Amino acid sequence: MSALMQAPRNQDPAVFGRVAVLLGGGSSEREVSLDSGRNVLEALRSRGVDAQPVDGIPALAQALGAKQFDRVFNVLHGHRGGGEDGIVQGLMEAFGVPYTGSGVLGSALSMDKVRTKQVWLSLDLPTPRYVRLLPGDDIHAAAHALGLPVIVKPANEGSSVGISRVFEDAQLDEAQALAVRYDGELLMEQLIEGDELTVAVVGNAALPSIRIVPKGQWYDYNAKYVAEDTQYLCPGLEGDAEAELGRLGLAAFRAAGCRGWGRVDVMRDRASGQLYLLEVNTAPGMTSHSLVPKAARQLGISFEDLVWRLLEQTL
């Protein structure tokens, strides 16, 4: 925490040169990314940074080819037209342009929830039991093997897109029909009932955790981005439990090859208190409802200061 509380290394916005704020794109998370990008752009400009919006990967490729920017602040969410699957990271590496967030490996691995879980399990990091569902697999047989209740979701989407909670066998077909609207494999996961927690990581530090208390049954897309009655308790836990959660979040982030900044989502089983890793977000939301800025505020770091510090990581 101490390094994070120190003042930013630089005070002159000219040190960043011309900055592209990469936003929008063509993924299922486009609207969230546009919102995040607008906030980041406003924050950078308020501190005198020469920042310009760039919508999507083709526009960025053209701009980098024309040498229009010195660095990129990436808030392009999602995959297949988004900025979290390693593709745009490879593009920026090819042009030699520094950028915020994880590199090719960390981005690609974290976008694939199945492979991320495989890495965690190889290191004895706790994550819910799961079944990987390929086209043609019997979802009812998988649920019987895993045991209800379960979560059914696309393996490569974020922002709670395409996710269903399934408590009865009769709900499985509808859950599958929703999830297959999105590209890639499906993931069926043991449903952990308890506290929804998240740990933001900035540099080498875990920020105070946040416990999410939605008004409805769970933290779905509406609770994340629309509802005004979702509660965010920070820190999410206390004492040794909070310290353990921070250590687990950092271990999970590093195991996935991530760097810079991101967010690790965790469930805490209500009955046992056991923590379970869910996923890593390598370009988290920066909207008015988003969690990384909330955790930073707990340390007295404003949104503008947080954005500045993230951009400093590209120097």
Q: What is the C-alpha separation between 71 and 21, in angstroms, rounded? A: 9
SS3 track for the chain? CHHHHCCCCCCCHHHHCEEEEEECCCCCCHHHHHHHHHHHHHHHHHCCCEEEEEECHHHHHHHHHCCCCCEEEECCCCCCCCCCCCHHHHHHHHHCCCECCCCHHHHHHHHCHHHHHHHHHHCCCCCCCEEEECCCCCHHHHHHHHCCCEEEEECCCCCCCCCEEECCHHHHHHHHHHHCCCCCCEEEEECCCEEEEEEEEECCEECCCEEEECCCCCCCHHHHHCCCCCEEECCCCCHHHHHHHHHHHHHHHHHCCCCCEEEEEEEEECCCCCEEEEEEECCCCCCCCCHHHHHHHHCCCCHHHHHHHHHHCCC
Q: For helices 113-122 and 104-111, what crossing angle results, to 10°?
A: 100
Cβ contact 276:126 at 8 Å: yes
Known active-site residue 112: no
Known active-site residue 29: yes
Known active-site residue 260: no
User: Among the options 263, 268, 276, 290, which is catalytic?
Assistant: 263
User: Among the options 37, 106, 265, 290, which is catalytic?
Assistant: 265
Known active-site residue 276: no
User: Among the options 29, 157, 189, 220, which is catalytic?
Assistant: 29
User: Among the options 27, 107, 110, 159, which is catalytic?
Assistant: 159
Known active-site residue 156: no
Known active-site residue 48: no
Known active-site residue 45: no
Known active-site residue 99: no
Instruction: Please return the burial class of 204, using the count of CB atoms within 10 Å of its CB with bins 0-12, 13-18 and 19+.
Output: exposed
User: Among the options 195, 225, 236, 249, which is catalytic?
Assistant: 225
User: Among the options 84, 112, 157, 279, which is catalytic?
Assistant: 279
54 closest CA partner among 34, 84, 80? 34
Q: What is the C-alpha separation between 313 and 138, in angstroms, rounded? A: 46
Active site residues: 29, 159, 225, 263, 265, 279, 281, 285
